[in-house]
Amino acid sequence: MEITASAPAEPTTSTLHKLLRMRETGLIAIILVMFVIMSFASPYFLTWVNMRAMVMAFAVEGIVVVGMTILLISGGIDLSVGSVTALSMVIAGWLFLQGIDPWVASAIAIAACTAIGAFMGFFVTRVGLHHFIVSLAIMVIARGACLLGTGGRPLGLYTLPPEFKFIGQGTIGPIPLVIIIFLVVVLVFDFMLRRTTVFRKVFYTGSNEKAAAYSGIRTKKVIFLTTTLCSALAGFAGIIYMARFGSAQPTFGLGMELNVIAAAVIGGASLTGGSGTIFGAILGVVLLSVVSSSLALLDVSVYWQDIIRGSILLAAVSVDHYLHKKRG
């Protein structure tokens, strides 16, 4: 009598195979390897001060990455996030200097950024323009508004109340509040993107907008909402930056769109829409932050850092294009 006992191992093998194919698994491996290498290359890399600086550096930008990832999944893109973040700071800072309560000023600034996203969504869904063109125009307009409203000079907000500064500078125990806010945003939107019916429509819209529309999904509404959400989160990030630095910088966020898009694409978001995860995008942010920190500790010129970040983006987009062609 012959007995076969190998069949039950198949689910485990299949699960392991899927795990190894996940983009997130590869990113985690790369990050861990870089940690090991840098721990030998620099005695300062694994210090608490450097780890805290790295996390603080990507935490607020990570909030913008969340919005960008959802927008990319829906098939859109936003080049204006850096300018909108700066505009949020400038609006809130200017209103505060006019005597308005900082909380009210911040709410107005976030509402204004949300309106900018709705404005872009209108031009994309109703006028029929491409996200790239609309967001490029808004990027220039918002940056011009920042410079016009401040005369090109930073707004010193030295009299911000301590309870407001606590958003960007305070800690709960040993953990900075900024990191807690970042984690809450990531967990909430990651859950919504994975589990809720409303956000699942984002994937269907990005994968095939016409097919999604035929199936009854209001694709234009989905695109409008994801565009609006991206700008709203950029505005929210601007308020946290203002509380952290105690000033409003009209030139803040220059090049942020490069880092944000690179992080999302590295994490698995496709520029053609239909795929991506919040968790993967955050791993992309972590990877870029580790790279920047490593280059700084190794005393690499800041100009080389820009070249390396741009090369990483090009490589990530090339891989995404290759995988998309392979699936197609």
pLDDT at 317: 74
| Closest-CA residue to 93 (of 272, 267, 291, 247) | 247
pLDDT at 264: 92
CB burial readout 163-199, b (16+ within 10 A) else e: ebbebbbbeeeeebbbbebbeebbeebbeebeeeeeb
Q: Is the pTM of this model over 0.75?
A: yes
- Contact between residue 172 and residue 273 where contact means Cβ atoms under 8 Å apart: no
pLDDT at 328: 59
Tokens of 27: 């990113």
**Residue ranges of the chain with per-residue pLDDT less than 70:** 1-22, 320-321, 323-324, 327-328
pLDDT, tens digit, 9 for 90 and up, residues 233-245: 999 999 999 999 9
pLDDT at 278: 93
What would you measure as the largest C-alpha separation in the chain, in angstroms?
90
Token pair 């409303």: residue: 198
pLDDT at 187: 95
| Closest-CA residue to 256 (of 16, 60, 44, 61) | 61
pLDDT at 241: 93
Rounded Cα distance, 167 and 164, in Å: 6
- Contact between residue 27 and residue 267 where contact means Cβ atoms under 8 Å apart: yes
Give residue limits of the domains in the chain: 45-254
3-state helix, strand, coil in the chain (%, to 5): 75, 0, 20
- Contact between residue 227 and residue 71 where contact means Cβ atoms under 8 Å apart: yes
- Contact between residue 220 and residue 125 where contact means Cβ atoms under 8 Å apart: yes
Residue 255 φ/ψ, nearest 5 degrees: 85, 0
Tokens of 111: 């509402």
Tokens of 165: 């500064």
pLDDT at 48: 87
Rounded Cα distance, 203 and 280, in Å: 15
pLDDT at 71: 96
Rounded Cα distance, 280 and 204, in Å: 19
Helix or strand run (H / E) with residue 176: strand 175-176
pLDDT at 49: 86
Rounded Cα distance, 188 and 46, in Å: 29
The Cβ of residue 319 has, within 10 Å, a number of other Cβ atoms equal to 14
- Contact between residue 255 and residue 83 where contact means Cβ atoms under 8 Å apart: no
